[in-house]
Amino acid sequence: MKKTKSNDKKYKFTYIKATAGTLFAGLLLMKGIPAYEGTGENLFHIQVNGQEIGTLGDRGRIDELLLQARKNVAAASQELVFMETNMNVTGEEVLWGEVDSEEAVLGRMEEALKSSVRETMHRSYTLKINEYIISLGSMEDVRRLLQAAIDKYGNEGKFSVDIKGDTEREFSVFTAHVTEGDGEEDGNLAACMGSGVQTFLAGITGEIQEEEEKDFEDYDLGILSMDFDEDVEIVEAYLPESQLTSLEEAINLVIMEQETPSVYEVVSGDTLSEISLKVNIPMETIIEMNDTLEDENSTLQVGQELLITVPEPELSVKRVEEEYYEETYDADIVYIDNDNWYTTDMVVRQQPSAGFRRVIADVSYVNDKEVGRELLKEEVVMEAVAKVVERGTKIPPTYIKPISGGRKSSGFGRRSAPTRGASSYHKGIDWATPTGTAVYASCGGTVTRAGWGSGYGYVVYIDHEDGRQTRYGHLSKVLVTVGQKVKQGEKIALSGNTGVSTGPHLHFEILINGTQVDPLKYLN
């Protein structure tokens, strides 16, 4: 009986060992569990950008799958994609373990990479106009922007933008120009060829015909030519979306007029009011922009540069338009030179009268500003009458200060009478100076008075060629005589304190047509 129990225990142990062996063998044969060979790390845990991806048994395949995942994510976008790619692989040696399928690992890698895309670089086109640069998202937007620039000036579909690659440049660079619509070149070529044949045939027979004069109805009015006034370049680039400009905004920035600083150079005859009309800027604005100008009466010098702000677009368009118009016009002024008159003398001998004419002209513009005009045909309906002016050619005499130094003690005009008998309206200018100071002729002429004069004390009068007269009063000594000819700067007297005077000084007057004027306005 005891022997039987011992055999039962033996059989049970054998059964357990057999069952365990069978289970272990089955586990080894299960799909996806690597066989234990004791050769080192055979199970690898994968993390991408901090996310758990799964496990694989082949380390080399992990790198291959990551590369494929990057390609798949990049291929899903037509732009340049920048993404974080930080992979961490931890290996271990196991007797048995469960691994994931490569398809599942690849999909999880793609999701981890997509969630970590840092920035997408868009294929874009950078438009360069002189130093101005703007970037748009497509070549079509560039074309629309440039087309809008020429359509602004009444193109009416006759002209279009032609963008071509620059074969001489190493990178993708394009240039833009304006051309006539489709078919125009062929038509022009055919016309030229036809004209050439006719000219050749006429040359054989010696009958080259002169072109008949056109009538007004024979001209094709409208835009003849159009192009950009600046060089336009387009460069292909990859940029972040933040650096791209929408088409609508680009049109406002490039085509609409912007306040552009500019310089105006003063020419002969310019006044601030005339400059204001020329540049279409208020005179007050021009004065504010220029420290050299105090007010509207500020003196201008030829060649002086004034800062002005002119509204201009970043991209300018030049064009030539053939125009018909009717206008009144003035004939050129006719001058008659008189060598016996001074250049300050001028008399109108005939008053002008405007004429009327019909005109065909080629007018050149840059944007809306006219820069040139060529008359092609003119029909005068009513002839203009020219203005006839007789003018002098002699240079008029000049006037200088009659003493060296001196302190201005009384100006021209109303004043409080400095002493009894003195006038309250001063008809000259006084310079306080010590008695005996040399007095010089302000201008060359003939002495008409030299001696004592009531109120003036000792005085000298000089008549000049231009009809003016100068007077020098309160002198201490007269050095010239009546009828004597004197030159400008010649010594004529010594200053003093004679007549109605409050102290040693020189009283000086300039008279025009017998009336005293402010001498300071005439002294050089």
Read off the pLDDT of residues 443-454 as tens digits, 9 standing for 90 and up.
999 999 999 998
Q: What is the pLDDT of residue 285?
A: 86
Sites in the chain below the pLDDT cut of 50: 1-7, 9-11, 27, 29, 31-32, 35-36, 183-202, 204-206, 208
C-alpha dist (Å) from residue 386 to 315, 348, 353, 356, 382: 43, 11, 7, 13, 13
From residue 333, give the alpha-carbon distance in Å to each of 268, 336, 357: 18, 10, 18
pLDDT at 14: 53
Q: Taking the model in full, what pTM does it have?
A: 0.50
Query: What sign results for the dihedral spanned by CA atoms 510, 513, 516, 517?
Result: negative
Tokens at 162, concatenated: 């032609």
pLDDT at 310: 73
Whole-number pLDDT of residue 416:
64
pLDDT score recorded for residue 197: 39
Cβ neighbors of 244 (< 8 A, separation 6 or more) are 122, 124, 135, 136, 137
* Six token digits for residue 88: 């961490």
Residues in the chain: 524
Q: What is the pLDDT of residue 349?
A: 96
